[in-house]
Chains A and B, each alone.
Chain A
Amino acid sequence: MSVMPEIYGITTAITVAFAVGVLLAKKPLLAGYLLTLTMVGLGALFWELKSPLLGGLQILVYGGGVLIMVLFVVMLTPSGQSSVDWSSSWRAAWILSPVAGYLASRSYPLHAPVISGQLLGRWLLMRQGLSLEVLAVLLLLALVAALAIAITQKGGEAS
């Protein structure tokens, strides 16, 4: 008998708990750390759904890249605005964590197709070459756009 449904359920409960932590966090920096853990949990979930490459990408891109940017923005934004008012009724959201874990363990797809890196790489390079190039151009354009937005009008200093 496979224990994967139980592991999947526990991972789901932990991931949702981290997300609820983001919801209830009083400080943006703590929310950023919890968001990193949420994304790592999601990467583990992708691995459990037999997609190890996508799980790794999820952790690398979200947990690594995006979250570093978020934390930089948190540190660069004006101080004194880190406290967030929230009512205690939001604490009821903690109940979502065990509920999601239970539902996930009951509905784990035992016969999910394996999406290996080899399969995905072959598919991308042999049949989706143009799309892959478009993605690269999109990322480059995003980088240029971000620089254009961040550069100030006066004297051309970057913020």
Chain B
Amino acid sequence: MSKPCPLSTQIPGPAVGRPAIELKGLGKAFPGRDVPALDGIDLAVPKGTIYGILGPNGAGKTTLMSILGGLLKPTSGAACIDGHDTATGRAAIKRILGLVPQEPAVYPTLTARENLDYFGRMQGLSGAHLQARIQACLELAEMAEHADRRVDQFSGGYRRRLNMVIGLIHEPRILILDEPTVAIDPHSRSLIHQRLRELHAAGITILISTHYMEEAEHLCQRIAIINHGKLLVQGTVPDLLAMQRDKTIQLQLEGDPPADLEARLEGISGLLEVHVAGRCVLIVAEQPDSLVAPLMRAIHERGLGVRSMSFGTASLEQVFLALTGSPGAPK
């Protein structure tokens, strides 16, 4: 009998109304490290949503996934899945949670069918029900004709498809995916996106961590951005875009900028932040339209041309850059 989630008392009303995933003051510190991997994260993933977790490398995403998967125990706060504490309620959680690790967690010398069969049995399935689920998963991954091929003969895309449907073998109500589309072909990525939308339409709650801003923007209804173990912001995609909408200017330069361009631009009055990444310049200002003229002048003075300029229409990538200050991280 698992302990009830310590957060459940804070959520009035029936169980149907509680979040699918809830983090309260979640912290994780590793011995020998000065900075905690997670530092007081508060997050609620409503049921039936696709929720994206964004963050640069080392932000704490994998630590968070490991706590949700029951592999790590938090050092402070709590994480609950459908009202069950992840540290004590594993037996209940495993029935409702499907977890898709970042790297394909499969046996390379077994066939796709054998992998599904084994992990299905580990989830307690058997007999005709298991066989039906195996077939359904193979069809979901569009790999029924490859079911009896060994996984070590598969391309990366097929492995990731199999990796995903293994997480679905027991029909979980909540699915957590850790960067499911890294380094795969466009067709497999598109298929995974399509399947995730279908699962969402079927009422499954999905939490997905990703590096791909476009993926998050188009797939997720709500997004949280974390960095250095802290939650920087969370909300719906329109909310996040609105944060930067009227404050950003994005410039595309015609040539490579000199190393001191960022320092030169920082001297412009009224400018809050400036980020230079390759030929892309992102400016944050209280009143962006008033900065257009001095900005163009400063760039021309450096002997550079401007290919394009936009302001008032922020992308998630711009929001991410502005919040994390990690121009190299997103793709």
Q: Are chains A and B native binding partners rather than an unrelated pairing? A: no
Which residues does B use to contact A, with CB under 8 Å?
Answer: none
